[in-house]
C-alpha cells in the first residue's frame, strides 16, 4: 500500500551540466506527460539556478519548482563563495537542500551546522529538503536508526515547525554507487523516522511529514519503492540528468 501523502520528487543535479544542457533538461520535462499529483523540485548548480527558474516561470508549469543545493545561515557578510538563505529568497528560489551527505562527508558539515542552516532557511521563508543517512560502516554496525535519529534530533532542537520540511533519507552507501536499499530496507528506516517524528513532533505532524528516499533511485526501482507505506517520493541524483527522470516522477501512474 503506497503512502497517502502526495508524491514528492526532487532532482539534485549536483555539479553537472551547462547552460545549454540545463535548458534541454527543462524542455524535456515540460514537454513530457507528468503525473499532475506529483510535486517536482529540481536543484541545478547555483550558476544555472536563475536561468532554470526563469524557464520554468515562462512555461507556467504549476508542479515544477527550483531548489538551491545548499545555503549559508548568515544573511550576508565576508563568506566568500557562499550563498545566503536571504539571497535565495530575494531571487525567488523557494526550496533549498540542506545536509546532503556530500556536504557532510566532503565539506565537513556537522549535525549542528545542518541544524543552524535549516533553522535559518525556514526563518527566511524557504522550504527545506533535509537530508539524513548512514554510511556503510554504520549500517554494518547496526547503527542506522541511531545515526538518523541523532541527525534529526539536532534539527529538532532548533526547529519546532516542520510543516515546510521534507526529510530525505539517503543511505550514504547507496549514493552514486549503483547500490540501492531494497524496498523493505528503505521502508524499515522510513518507518523508524516516522516513529521518531510521532514521539518528538506529535502524531499529527508525523502523519503529514513527507519522507523521501534517495540513493541510486532509477526508473527500474522507483515503482516498487513508491508502493511502500512510508516512502513519499525520491531525491534523485544521476537519473535526474536523464530522460528516465520522467518515469520516476510518474512512479505512481
* Sign of the alpha-carbon dihedral angle for 6, 51, 248, 226: negative
> Which phi and psi angles does 157 have, rounded to 5°?
-65, -25
CB count within 10 Å of CB 160 equals: 10
Q: Choose, from 48, 73, 100, 190, the residue flagged as catalytic.
A: 100
Confidence at residue 205, expressed as pLDDT on a 0 to 100 scale: 98
Annotated catalytic residue 100 = yes
Residue 152, classified by CB atoms within 10 Å of its CB into exposed (0-12), middle (13-18) or buried (19+), is: buried
Confidence at residue 3, expressed as pLDDT on a 0 to 100 scale: 80
Would you give per-residue pLDDT tens digits along the chain (253 residues)? 778 899 999 999 999 999 999 999 999 999 999 999 999 999 999 999 999 999 999 988 888 999 999 999 999 999 999 999 999 999 999 999 999 999 999 999 999 999 999 999 999 999 999 999 999 899 989 999 999 999 999 999 999 999 999 999 999 888 877 777 889 999 999 999 999 999 999 999 999 999 999 988 999 999 999 999 999 999 999 999 999 999 999 999 9
34 contacts 63 by C-beta, under 8 angstroms: yes
Q: Choose, from 39, 102, 109, 170, the residue flagged as catalytic.
A: 170
Tell me the domains of the chain and their CATH numbers. Answer: 8-249 (3.20.20.70)
Annotated catalytic residue 137 = no
Confidence at residue 148, expressed as pLDDT on a 0 to 100 scale: 98
> Which phi and psi angles does 208 have, rounded to 5°?
-95, -20
* Cα distance between residue 10 and residue 213, in whole Å: 10
Amino acid at each position: 500500500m503506497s503512502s497517502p501523502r502526495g508524491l514528492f520528487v526532487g532532482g539534485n543535479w549536483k555539479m553537472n551540466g551547462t547552460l545549454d544542457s540545463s535548458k534541454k533538461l527543462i524542455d524535456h520535462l515540460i514537454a513530457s506527460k507528468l503525473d499532475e499529483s506529483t510535486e517536482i523540485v529540481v536543484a541545478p548548480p547555483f550558476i544555472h539556478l536563475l536561468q532554470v527558474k526563469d524557464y520554468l516561470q515562462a512555461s507556467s508549469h504549476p508542479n515544477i519548482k527550483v531548489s538551491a543545493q545548499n545555503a549559508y545561515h548568515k544573511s550576508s557578510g565576508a563568506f566568500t563563495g557562499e550563498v545566503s538563505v536571504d539571497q535565495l529568497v530575494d531571487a525567488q528560489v523557494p526550496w533549498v537542500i540542506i545536509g546532503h551527505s556530500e556536504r557532510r562527508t566532503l565539506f565537513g558539515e556537522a549535525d549542528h551546522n545542518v541544524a543552524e542552516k535549516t533553522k535559518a532557511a525556514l526563518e527566511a521563508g524557504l522550504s527545506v529538503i533535509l537530508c539524513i543517512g548512514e554510511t556503510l560502516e554504520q549500517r554494518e554496525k547496526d547503527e542506522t536508526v541511531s545515526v538518523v535519529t541523532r541527525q534529526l534530533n539536532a534539527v529538532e532542537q532548533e526547529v519546532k515547525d516542520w510543516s515546510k520540511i521534507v526529510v530525505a533519507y539517503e543511505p550514504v552507501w547507496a549514493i552514486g554507487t549503483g547500490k540501492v536499499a531494497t524496498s523493505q530496507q528503505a521502508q524499515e528506516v522510513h518507518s523508524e523516522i516516522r516513529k521518531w517524528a510521532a514521539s518528538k513532533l506529535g502524531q499529527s505532524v508525523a502523519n503529514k511529514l513527507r519522507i523521501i528516499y534517495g540513493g541510486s533511485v532509477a526508473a527500474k526501482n522507483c515503482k516498487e519503492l513508491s508502493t511502500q507505506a512510508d516512502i513519499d517520493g525520491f531525491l534523485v541524483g544521476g537519473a535526474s540528468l536523464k530522460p528516465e527522470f520522467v518515469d520516476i516522477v510518474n512512479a505512481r501512474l
